[in-house]
């Protein structure tokens, strides 16, 4: 395992890609509404990239055909945008997007509940957000990745939800996916020790049911779904380890 440790100057460059990733993430999330197609969300990313002279990091990554991933309901991650997929009331829509600029990538995702009133579904969304917060709160120099995964898993388990096992967070930087692996579960005191300058994507994928922890890939070769077709939520931030903790690189610009 070769984990890239970035200089302060490199983190500064990556901060820009991450700031833009956060901006387009929130543009996409705000556009999610009944009647909108996921293809229209994809077009927003294309427009943003043209306007700002940047690249959509996911496009053509291992042949991926979209400019972001839009995954709905039982789709966990890697949903391919399509002009035929119309968002309807009650949908749980995950918009996952990354911008490539100055040699670096961002990677960030949000879940939007479209006209959802079922309190269990809303609790799933809030719990997934809390999982991401707990993972980030655990991060810092000297911390093991097992500690981070454990912190995330505890929040999900306490709420009675499942944690996807075979898709995980990852190092991110010059490439979208790099070492180390960042699972959303773990054992304290195990795995890699974090150091200042490491940049990782933390991305809990939490499922309504325990059986939903197991996933399949659809015949399109990309879309990951829960095996029992239960709902899944997903939040993701790109985070840099600092001398005294960590910095979330994909916060919205107006975050207080
Ligand atoms: N955003 C995904 C992640 O969080 C990676 C998407 S790459 C793609 O790891 F090719 F599937 F789009
Ligand atoms: Co992502
Ligand atoms: Co990611």
pTM of the model: 0.98
pLDDT in tens, 164-174: 999 999 999 99
The percent of the chain in helix, strand and coil, each rounded to the nearest 5, is 30, 25, 45
Asked if residue 2 lies in contact with residue 179, where contact means CB atoms within 8 angstroms, the answer is: yes
pLDDT in tens, 109-146: 999 999 999 999 999 999 999 999 999 999 999 999 99
Query: Separation of 256 CA from ligand 3 center, angstroms?
Result: 24
Q: Which residues contact 81 (CB under 8 A, 6 or more apart)?
A: 37, 38, 39, 41, 42, 66, 67, 68, 69, 70
Q: What does the pLDDT average to over 185-203? A: 98
Asked if residue 207 lies in contact with residue 229, where contact means CB atoms within 8 angstroms, the answer is: no
Q: What does the pLDDT average to over 190-196? A: 98
Cα–Cα distance for residue pair 112/224, rounded to 1 Å: 18
Q: What does the pLDDT average to over 49-74? A: 98
> CB 2: neighbour CB atoms within 10 A?
7
| Res 49: pLDDT | 98
Nearest to 37 by CA among 84, 2, 71: 84
CATH class of 8-248: alpha beta
pLDDT category, 256, cuts 50, 70, 90?
confident
Pocket of ligand 1, beta carbon within 6 A: 58, 61-62, 64, 69, 78, 96, 107, 176, 201, 203, 236
Query: Separation of 216 CA from ligand 1 center, angstroms?
Result: 16
Asked if residue 97 lies in contact with residue 68, where contact means CB atoms within 8 angstroms, the answer is: yes
**H helix intervals, 72-144:** 119-138
Atom of ligand 1 nearest to the CA of 169: 9
| Res 144: pLDDT | 98
Query: Separation of 143 CA from ligand 2 center, angstroms?
Result: 23
Q: What does the pLDDT average to over 42-65? A: 98
| Res 1: pLDDT | 82
| Res 255: pLDDT | 84
Residue 253 reports pLDDT greater than 90: no
Residue 231 reports pLDDT greater than 90: yes
Q: Tokens for 169?
A: 């967070």
Asked if residue 149 lies in contact with residue 183, where contact means CB atoms within 8 angstroms, the answer is: yes
Query: Separation of 172 CA from ligand 3 center, angstroms?
Result: 8
- Nearest bound ligand to CA 58? 1
Tell me which H or E stretch contains 75: strand 75-77
Atom of ligand 1 nearest to the CA of 64: 10
Q: Is 124 exposed, middle or buried (0-12, 13-18, 19+ CB in 10 A)?
A: buried
Average pLDDT of the chain is 98
Atom of ligand 1 nearest to the CA of 177: 9
Q: What does the pLDDT average to over 36-65? A: 98
Which residue's CA is minimally distant from atom 11 of ligand 1? 78
Atom of ligand 1 nearest to the CA of 78: 11
Q: Which residues contact 30 (CB under 8 A, 6 or more apart)?
A: none
pLDDT category, 254, cuts 50, 70, 90?
confident
Cα–Cα distance for residue pair 204/163, rounded to 1 Å: 7
Q: Tokens for 216?
A: 């399949």
Cα–Cα distance for residue pair 157/70, rounded to 1 Å: 26
Domain positions in the chain = 8-248
Q: Tokens for 56?
A: 């959509």
């Amino acid at each position: 395992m070769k984990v890239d440790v970035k200089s302060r100057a490199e983190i500064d460059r990556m901060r820009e890609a991450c700031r833009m990733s956060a901006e387009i993430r929130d543009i996409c999330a705000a556009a999610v509404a009944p009647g909108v197609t996921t293809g229209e969300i994809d077009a927003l990313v294309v427009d943003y990239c043209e306007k700002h002279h940047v690249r959509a990091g996911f496009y053509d990554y291992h042949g991926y055909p979209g400019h972001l991933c839009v995954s709905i309901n039982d789709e966990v991650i890697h949903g391919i945008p399509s002009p035929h997929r119309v968002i309807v009331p009650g949908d749980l829509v995950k918009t996952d997007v990354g911008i490539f600029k100055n040699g670096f990538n961002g990677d960030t995702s949000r879940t939007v509940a479209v006209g959802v009133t079922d309190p269990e579904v809303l609790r799933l969304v809030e719990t997934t957000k809390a999982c991401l917060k707990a993972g980030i709160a655990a991060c810092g120099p000297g911390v093991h990745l097992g500690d981070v995964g454990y912190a995330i898993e505890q929040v999900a388990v306490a709420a009675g939800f499942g944690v996807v096992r075979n898709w995980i967070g990852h190092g991110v930087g010059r490439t979208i996916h790099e070492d180390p692996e960042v699972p959303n579960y773990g054992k304290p005191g195990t795995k890699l020790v974090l150091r200042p300058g490491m940049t990782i994507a933390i991305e809990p994928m939490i499922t309504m049911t325990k059986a939903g922890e197991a996933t399949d890939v659809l015949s399109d070769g990309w879309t990951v779904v829960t095996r029992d077709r239960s709902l899944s939520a997903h939040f993701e931030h790109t985070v840099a380890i600092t001398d005294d903790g960590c910095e979330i690189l994909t916060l919205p610009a107006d975050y207080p």
